[in-house]
């Protein structure tokens, strides 16, 4: 499959085996209730992949430790990359890993910053089968306490939404960069169900089940809701052709932020945007610039 074709497919359609999609389609026809439970299990299960060659340099030159996060009773794998005192926290997206933002980390290192990143529970090298957004948020707070303070935080996709929420909940940083970040959790569940060959009734039931399972409305974690309480200088980056997260989400989050600028690219999709030289230069310039 070429890069051009991959950019036009949501990540679920790339990583999910065909037999899973067939089961999803059959269950949707037989029982929306069973389909919603199956969907919820899939929704909380990240798909792992081998370390890409483009991430190997960061992987091999990082100080890597496996650490326990007491607040969630889960283990994460932490990557300390570089030896500079000024630190930036990198937060990967769903089914990503701590080296996913390696090209950005390399450029920051050249400009006098170290980075701290992590494999969230059940991602990358971290143990586990199930993960969820609260695990990301608690891990961010753990890393701030142990390795902070962070000059800036950079989050991709779910990592961006988690970073917004973490800052809303008290994470201290000077700047935030979010890339390809979604706004509405409800919309995420609808898109997920559609990508799994399920319908909106299944998506609705799945969202209701997740709300009851975790004892709160998961929409409380939506990007624009968290953004209302985020005052730090923020850079939003999103691509017009992002098939995983609509560019509309970027504008919705932008409208809720008090101190924000936005960069909309064209033709980079949801994943290639992380390695684009112009995007990386924009991020580094934004972080290294002195605040007025």
Distance CA 236, CA 219 (A): 20
How distant, in Å, are the alpha carbons of 43, 45, 204, 209, 252 from that of 12?
A: 10, 11, 19, 21, 24
- CB burial of 198-221 (b: ≥16 within 10 Å; e: otherwise) equals bbeebbbbbbebbeeeeeeebbeb
218-258 confidence digits (pLDDT tens): 888 899 999 999 999 999 999 999 988 999 999 999 999 99
Looking at residue 13, its pLDDT comes to: 53
Residue 114 confidence (pLDDT): 97
CA distance 154 to 73: 25
Residue 108's pLDDT is 97
Q: Where are the domains of the chain?
A: 59-187+220-288
Start-to-end CA span in the chain (Å): 47
- φ, ψ dihedrals at 105, nearest 5°: -60, -40
H/E stretch holding 135: helix 133-147
For residue 178, report the phi and psi dihedrals to the nearest 5 degrees.
Answer: -120, 135
209 contacts: CB under 8 Å, gap ≥ 6: 36, 37, 40
pTM of the entire structure? 0.91
Listing DSSP states for 140-194 in one string gives HHHHHHHH--EEEEEEETHHHHHHHHHHHTT--EEEEEEES----HHHHHHHHHH
Paired with 265 in beta bridges are 239
Ranges of residues in the chain with a pLDDT under 70 are: 1-16, 290-292
Residue 122 backbone zone (phi > 0: left; psi -120 to 50: alpha; other: beta) = left
Structural class in CATH, domain 59-187+220-288: alpha beta
Q: What confidence score (pLDDT) does residue 23 get?
A: 87
């Amino acid at each position: 499959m070429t890069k051009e074709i991959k950019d036009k497919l949501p990540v679920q359609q790339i990583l999910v085996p065909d037999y899973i999609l067939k089961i999803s389609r059959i269950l949707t026809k037989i029982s929306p209730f069973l389909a919603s439970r199956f969907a919820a299990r899939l929704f909380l299960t990240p798909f792992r992949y081998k370390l890409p060659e483009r991430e190997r340099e960061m992987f091999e030159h990082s100080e890597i430790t496996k650490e326990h996060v007491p607040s969630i009773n889960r283990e994460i794998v932490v990557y300390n990359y570089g030896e500079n005192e000024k630190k930036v926290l990198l937060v990967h997206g769903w089914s990503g890993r701590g080296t996913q933002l390696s090209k950005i980390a390399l450029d920051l290192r050249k400009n006098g910053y170290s980075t701290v990143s992590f494999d969230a529970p059940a991602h990358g090298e971290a143990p586990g089968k199930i993960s969820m957004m609260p695990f990301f948020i608690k891990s961010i707070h753990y890393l701030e306490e142990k390795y902070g303070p962070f000059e800036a935080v950079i989050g991709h996709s779910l990592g961006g939404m988690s970073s917004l929420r973490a800052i809303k909940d008290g994470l201290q940083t000077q700047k935030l960069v979010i890339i390809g970040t979604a706004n509405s959790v409800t919309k995420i569940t609808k898109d997920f169900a559609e990508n799994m060959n399920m319908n909106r009734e299944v998506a609705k039931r799945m969202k209701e089940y997740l709300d009851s399972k975790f004892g709160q409305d998961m929409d409380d974690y939506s990007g624009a809701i968290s953004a209302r309480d985020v005052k730090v200088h923020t850079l939003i980056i999103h691509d017009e052709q992002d098939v995983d997260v609509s560019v509309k989400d970027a504008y919705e989050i932008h409208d809720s932020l008090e101190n924000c600028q936005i960069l909309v690219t064209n033709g980079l999709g949801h994943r290639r945007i992380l390695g684009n030289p112009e995007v990386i230069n924009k991020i580094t310039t934004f972080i290294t610039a002195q605040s007025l």
